Amino acid sequence: MTTTVAFIGLGHMGGPMAANLVRAGHRVLGHDLVESALADAAAKGVERAGSAAEAAAIADVVVTMLPAGRHVLSLYGPEGLLAAARPGTLFVDCSTIDVADSRAAHAAASAAGHRSLDAPVSGGVVGAEAGTLTFMAGGEQAAFAEAEPLLSVMGKKAVYCGAAGAGQAAKICNNMILGVSMIAVSEAFVLAESLGLSDQALFDVASAASGQCWALTVNCPVPGPVPGSPANRDYRPGFAAPLMAKDLGLAANAVRAGGVDAELGLRAAELYARFAEGGGAEKDFSGIVRAIRAASATTADTEKGATP
């Protein structure tokens, strides 16, 4: 069945996601503030809408793929998409945003007589292009069931996580595990180096022992042991450090709001924020091993009396 989709936000992720919907036979009306994003999407069959509201007014489903919660809330807001859409339109927000913002977006959609789903993704630009994203969804189960045929075009897996905001909650909890574990793996490699243990020897042991995790065996932060990991291509992303910093910042907001004692999650947010603003701005998040190595060398030199 052909669905008319308004797709707002045609950037690195939204552009290829919208193109996959077109390829599957859906009518997609796209909007973005950036002309080049619109032009790229139009070349793949996305129809240019005059405005986001114009697209929403004739859509069965409105998908948003935007940078942050403030963009979603302001587009939903007074005189925005919710007001323009026909009653009962399904709103699917695939952006990664604050859990509180996501719940506010759901509440606004419901107050305007619409149905809504938060459905953030993992899988990155490669997954968006290949249609192999994983969606984690929150909202009414009926809304999830209705969105599923579209999610299955853009992704390979969609997990229903629970009520409004549950998809965002799953995303930031998963990425908090990932951020903390990447730092732990990186610290272990730098410690091994200082103890004269080779990267390969640590990998061979830890990957077959209880230190095993995705950060080690798939996205290994040192070159060599896992040929496909970003470390082997000068840390070209992959999953860029600024995106990890963003997700850990959202996790830290939720940690503080909930009064959760998550010392490592908060510390990981600080370390990634610093790395993303400095040497990691254009690097994969596993490049944090270099920052740890550099800081370790400075400490060791200082202890030996050298000028830092």
Among 5, 18, 20, 31, binds ligand NAD (CB under 6 A): 31
How does DSSP assign 92-156, residue by residue?
EE-S---HHHHHHHHHHHHHTT-EEEE--EESHHHHHHHT-EEEEEEE-HHHHHHHHHHHHHHEE
d(CA 32, CA 59): 16
Does 171 qualify as catalytic in the annotation? yes
40 lies in the binding site for ligand NAD (CB under 6 A): no
Among 14, 179, 221, 287, binds ligand NAD (CB under 6 A): 14
11 lies in the binding site for ligand NAD (CB under 6 A): yes
Exposed, middle or buried, 146 (CB in 10 Å: 0-12/13-18/19+)? middle
**Phi, psi of 298, deg, nearest 5:** -60, -45
CA separation, residue 267 to residues 48, 97, 138 (Å)? 43, 20, 28
C-beta separation of 29 from 5 below 8 A? yes
* Residue closer to ligand NAD, measured from CB, 150 or 192: 150
> Considering CB under 6 A, how many residues would be counted as binding ligand NAD?
26
Residues between 148 and 207 with contacts to ligand NAD, criterion CB under 6 A: none
d(CA 221, CA 239): 12
* Residue closer to ligand NAD, measured from CB, 121 or 147: 121
Region from 18-26, 30-38, 140-148, 294-302 binding ligand NAD, contact rule CB under 6 A: 30-38
How near is the Cβ of 247 to ligand NAD at its closest, in Å?
7
How near is the Cβ of 38 to ligand NAD at its closest, in Å?
9
* Residue closer to ligand NAD, measured from CB, 8 or 289: 8
107 lies in the binding site for ligand NAD (CB under 6 A): no
Q: Residues 156, 171, 246, 304: which is the catalytic one?
A: 171
d(CA 179, CA 265): 8
Residues between 239 and 278 with contacts to ligand NAD, criterion CB under 6 A: 243, 246
* Residue closer to ligand NAD, measured from CB, 14 or 287: 14
Among 45, 80, 124, 211, binds ligand NAD (CB under 6 A): 124
Binding mask 47-86 for ligand NAD (x = CB under 6 A): -----x------------xxx---x---x-----------
C-beta separation of 62 from 49 below 8 A? no
What sign does the dihedral 287-186-169-121 (CA atoms) show?
positive
18 lies in the binding site for ligand NAD (CB under 6 A): no
Residue with tokens 């908090």: 176
User: Any residues with CB less than 8 A from the CB of 295 and at least 6 apart, and which?
Assistant: none
17: β partners: none
20 lies in the binding site for ligand NAD (CB under 6 A): no
95 lies in the binding site for ligand NAD (CB under 6 A): yes
Q: Which amino acid is at 289?
A: V
Tokens standing for residue 2 = 């052909």
Residues catalogued as catalytic: 171
Q: List interacting residues with ligand NAD (CB under 6 A).
A: 8-14, 31-34, 37, 52, 65-67, 71, 75, 95-96, 121-122, 124-125, 243, 246
